[in-house]
Amino acid sequence: PVEVGPECSRRWAEAIGRALRSRDRGCAPAERFLDLYYDDLVANPVGAVRKVYGHFDLPFPQDMEQRIGDFYRRNPKDRFGTHRYSLEQFGMNREEEMRRYAAYRERFRL
């Protein structure tokens, strides 16, 4: 993990930067993008999925709410135990990662 953590983070930051610059240049119409926050997905999965379907003018399947509920019942949080991770485990530190993703965090108010 220590050997690959910083490299993976650097690559992700570069990829995110390229994607956002492309989006800002108008590579596709703005309505083709939807920014969905992870916290919103976790807090209200059905609402988040409805938001995706609604944004793209897709009909929300009648059984979707049931299917989402079934998924969460079959896969409860900590099903395989609690996992704890730290940046240090991966050879990274908070200050550097905060700097690396500063523009992304500012743009999306994270």
pLDDT single digits (tens) 9-33? 999 999 999 999 999 999 999 999 9
- Give Cβ neighbours of residue 50 (< 8 Å, ≥ 6 apart): 60
How many other CB atoms are there within 10 angstroms of residue 58's CB atom? 9
User: Between the CA atoms of 93, 98, 100 and 104, what dihedral angle is there, to the nearest 10 degrees?
Assistant: 150
pTM for the predicted model, two decimal places: 0.81
Query: What's the mean pLDDT in 80-85?
Result: 91
pLDDT digits (tens, 9 = 90+) for 44-77: 999 999 999 999 999 999 999 999 999 999 999 8
Domain limits of the chain? Answer: 5-107
Q: Where are the alpha helices (DSSP H) in the chain?
A: 5-24, 38-43, 45-55, 64-74, 94-100, 102-107
Structure confidence at residue 16 (pLDDT): 97
- Per the listing, tokens 């209200």 go with 44
Residue-level pLDDT at 3: 87
pLDDT at 1: 81
